[in-house]
Structure 1
Amino acid sequence: MHADATPQEITTLVGREVYSNNGVFVGEVEDVRLDLDAQAVTGLALSQLSEELFASRIEPGKGVMIPYRWVRAVGDVILINDTIERLKDETAEEQQV
């Protein structure tokens, strides 16, 4: 999942910006969820959320948890599947109905 195979400290994820594969800003990592038995990260808690994606779904000041399996790459920023962008598409469809 990482850009290189070098192990990284979990704390280096905190504060990184998260974008979809298509370059859409999603939010910023505030915390991580761990599976201590498996010694693995299982989720990312995001804050500073994109208003474009979450305005009609999440109260201001709240965050979201995304599954770590969505992460495609970790570097200066974190790239995730474009699954998150479907929220924007669903919201647009609801408003058109």
Structure 2
Amino acid sequence: MNGTPEEITTLVGREVYSNNGMFVGEVEDVRLNLDHEAVTGLALTALNTELFGNQIEPGKGVLIPYRWVRAVGDVILINDVIERLKNPEESEESAVV
């Protein structure tokens, strides 16, 4: 990873959108693998209630794998979140945090 710690902390507070433009949530924290010096997940809060509905209790968040991230800029774009939520038995798990 070529980034500096300052770059990692800039992820916090960014809005996350699916690749089709749907708001997913806001980054509250990052999960790191210190041995590999890599970000492995994003903890999201302020979730889109239409997207998560009754799946997530109010005040809770989700942890998404960083490999879902397509692009990081002013916002963060992720892959397939809608399809993964509609077919959770066919997708990799996201965790409630």
1:22 corresponds in structure 2 to 20
Q: CA deviation at 1:53?
A: 1.1
1:85 corresponds in structure 2 to 82
| Structure 2 residue runs without a partner (length 5+) | 88-97
Matches within 5 A, 1:30-45: 30-45=28-43
Query: Aligned equivalents of 2:29 and 2:11: distance in 1?
Result: 8
Q: TM-score, normalised by structure 2?
A: 0.81
Matches within 5 A, 1:1-80: 7=3, 9-80=7-78
The one-letter code matched in structure 1 to 2:3 is P
Q: CA deviation at 1:11?
A: 0.4
Q: CA deviation at 1:56?
A: 1.4
Count residues in correspondence. Answer: 84
Query: Aligned equivalents of 1:14 and 1:47: distance in 2?
Result: 11
Q: Which has the higher contact order (CA 8 A, sep 6+)?
A: 1
The one-letter code matched in structure 1 to 2:52 is F
Percent of aligned positions that are identical? 76
| Structure 1 residue runs without a partner (length 5+) | 1-5, 91-97
Q: TM-score, normalised by structure 1?
A: 0.81
Query: Aligned equivalents of 1:54 and 1:7: distance in 2?
Result: 32
Q: CA deviation at 1:7?
A: 3.2
Query: Aligned equivalents of 2:55 and 2:17: distance in 1?
Result: 18
Q: Secondary structure at the match of 1:31?
A: strand
Q: Which whole-Å deviations, capped at 9, do the CAs of 1:20-58 have from their partners, x for residues lacking one?
A: 000000000000000000000000000000001112100
Moved over 3 A (4+): none
